[in-house]
A = this chain, B = another copy of it.
Amino acid sequence: MTNRICRLFGIKYPIIQGGMIWCSGWELAAAVSNSGGLGLIGAGSMYPEVFRTHVKKTKQASSKPFGVNIPLLYPNTEALMQIVIDEGVKIVFTSAGNPKTWTTWLKERGVTVVHVVSNSKFAIKAEEAGVDAVVIEGFEAGGHNGREETTTLVAVPKVRQATILPVIAAGGIATGKAMLAAMILGADGVQMGTRFIASVESSAHQNFKNAVIQAQEGDTMLSLKQLVPVRLIKNPFYERVSQAELNGESKEALQTLLGKGRAKLGMFEGDTTEGELEAGQIAAIITQIEPVEHIIQNIVLEYKVAREQMSHVKFNIGE
């Protein structure tokens, strides 16, 4: 008998490394899985054949369970799904789309399916679609984000009430204490993205990793709300977008300003001036680029210590 998320995926710790564009290739996914968590290859920024290579390399680098994250908004989704089956991937996280589209197809082929949601209404829809678990991602999370701006602290208990599925909390979590807090609020496990950008094994450009560990409170902001809301580290590109939004410019003007390839430019090629740098608020407490194994061991240790410290005088109230 153990934690539901550990049981669902066959892993040691209920720590999932979020699938992120440009940051989570085979090296990161394999390192996380080898360290007892669940590594995810982020397919969102990969052409199908690149994705296949990453899946193959992950299988070579780890004998542990791993998964892939497939955002459902790109035209190549079908090709990616076929590779999932061809290569025997057993775990798929879907996001940014309707969970009904692929869940049955994947489950009929023996794949465990998790869907990322931003509120309890979508959690119910994911449960109805037949997924095995949901990730609830709060406002503080990096990258693409819900329009309702509900934070992890509020969203996790709402989703816990709404579904019987295992719940994975994401957004604002990078430590063992935050993991324990999220689990008290109702989560069965956690997903961390930003914490793993600043790892040795992530494929983020060194400049982007440095930007993450230097970011302080207030240094990320939810941006581009009229297109698709995305949390970015503030940089000159962000400032231009922000000014355009303040000026009330049209969606079309914003789309032109955004252009193409901004995320790759910033996160993978390291242009921290003109590129998009997607990271979460929790960057403010991350100060070091570390090997994945250290990160996970530290989180687990802090979690266990925090759990034992419930007998601390601070927690004695009303006696």
Binding site for B on A (CB under 8 A): 1-4, 6, 12-14, 36, 119-121, 138-140, 147-155, 157-158, 161, 171-173, 175, 177-178, 180-186, 188, 217-218, 221-222, 226, 246-249, 281-282, 284-285, 300, 303, 306-307, 310, 313-319
Residues of B within 8 A of A281 (CB): 149-151, 154
Query: With A139-B139, A177-B157, A319-B2 in contact, do A314 and B183 touch (Cβ < 8 Å)?
Result: yes
Residues of B within 8 A of A148 (CB): 217-218
- State the copy count for this chain: 2
Q: A120–B158 Cα gap in the complex (Å)?
A: 28
Residues of B within 8 A of A6 (CB): 317
Query: With A3-B315, A6-B317, A307-B310 in contact, do A157 and B285 touch (Cβ < 8 Å)?
Result: yes
Q: A87–B185 Cα gap in the complex (Å)?
A: 41
Partner of A151, one of B121, B172, B181, B317: B172
Q: A318 and B153: CB pair below 8 A?
A: no
Q: B177 and A153: CB pair below 8 A?
A: no
Partner of A316, one of B3, B177, B180, B317: B3
Of chain B, the residue at the smallest CB distance from A281 is B154
